[in-house]
Amino acid sequence: MTSQTDRASTSSHAAMNNPAAAPVALSPQQPLVVGVDIGGTKVAVVVADGQGVRAKVSEATAKQGTHLALASQVNRLIHDSCLSAGVSPLDVTKVGVSACGPFVLRDGCVELAGPNICGGLSQQPGRLNDWLTAPLEAPLRAAFRDVRVENDGVAALEAERRWGALQGANHCAYVTWSTGIGVGLCVDGKVLRGKNGNAGHAGHTFVTTHTQAVCGCGLLGDLESLASGSAMGKRFAAQGYADAAAIFVAARSGDPLAESLVDEVCELMGRALFNLVATLDLERISLGGSVFIHNQAQILPRLRSFLEGKLPALTQGVELVPAGLGLAVGDCAALALVTA
């Protein structure tokens, strides 16, 4: 569990003072629901009803203690957010969880099996635990009567289709380009989930024969190991760039090496987007995540240019657009799972 000192150092208090963090339009009749956004860095919880978002709390993701530490943290944050909103946890009708994956199913319930949280799966140094999975759905169902857990790419896709840039699109994808790379997919108006809810893990597909970049999951040369925000900092540190942000800043100032690196990662992402379009015959892709949102003026033209003219029967008319929900997509994603 996170210590009291750790809790005091999080952004929870600031978020509670500004609860309208998720720009969503809810029905005035919306009963009390909770949205939980679980990432490798932080867990955020929002409480909402017909009045909109009532409260939000967040803190660093629990990665120490037993493998039940994360579920215990989520349960506690739900209670904290309800108290902040002046409502009772007993009145919560539904809990929606948008979580980084991958998932495994145990007795029909989702457990997280991602190396960013479960140290027993990580190929990186400095592991804080030896978990192989972190149970999530079963402990929440023991406390709340209606729980829905989805991959964060799927949840963000649903939010973008409801409130964002994918409204009206029946053949579409949401792609987040951030610390990691994730995808949500929709074909013929149906959101794709897969046998364990892992559909859309395109960040772990191979886009090159590069063998030096190691992903946190252990794969060599997958998209996330080469182009994610965390990977860019590791790959290009020797060239003098501390992180992904430094590369894009330098490229904007005319640094030719930085410009070439931006070209490289955009080509890698372009390949991944083309593969999605060619495989699923998509009409529109919404792009979000901190790397994309903060640098979209550099990234979007490059991605559009990469798709242009490649097998026109598949790519002509395909739209690449910024996420309509911007950086608020995490809060919105969790709420999209449990609101009408």
Q: Dump pLDDT digits (tens) for 76-99.
A: 999 999 999 999 999 999 999 999
Mean pLDDT score across all residues of the chain? 90
pTM for the whole structure: 0.89
The reply to whether 60 falls in a domain is: yes
Please check whether residue 175 lies inside any domain of the structure. yes
Q: How many residues does the chain have?
A: 340
DSSP 308-335: TTSSHHHHTT-EEEE-TTGGGHHHHHHH
CATH number, domain at 312?
Answer: 3.30.420.40
Say if 332 falls within a structural domain: no
Is 114 domain-assigned? Answer: yes
Q: What is the mean pLDDT of residues 135-142?
A: 97
Which residues have C-beta within 8 Å of that of residue 332, sequence separation ≥ 6? 22, 23, 24, 156, 159, 163, 164, 325
Do residues 140 and 261 both lie within one domain? Answer: no
Domain total in the chain = 2
The domain of 284 spans 165-323
- Percent of the chain topping pLDDT 70: 93
Confidence band, pLDDT 50/70/90 cuts, at residue 121: confident
The pLDDT of residue 277 is above 70 = yes
Residue-wise pLDDT for 55-73, tens only, equals 999 999 999 999 999 999 9
Residues 26 and 73 placed together within one structural domain of the fold: yes
**Phi and psi for 89 in degrees, rounded to 5?**
-55, -25
pLDDT category of residue 127 using cuts at 50, 70 and 90: confident
Any domain includes 336: no
Q: Are 206 and 117 found together in one domain?
A: no
- 340, part of any domain: no
DSSP output for 148-208: EEEEHHHHHHHHHHHHSTTTT-SSEEEEEESSSEEEEEEETTEE---TTS-TT-GGGSB--
Regarding whether 185 and 296 lie in a shared domain, the answer is: yes
Please indicate whether residue 328 or residue 174 has the higher confidence score (pLDDT): 174
CB-based burial label for 253 (10 Å; 0-12, 13-18, 19+): exposed
Neighbours of 188 (CB within 10 A): 9
Shared domain for 187 and 146, answered yes or no, is no
Task: In whole angstroms, give the CA distance from residue 335 to residue 156.
Answer: 10
Do 54 and 122 lie in one domain? The reply is: yes
| Residue 131: pLDDT over 60 | yes
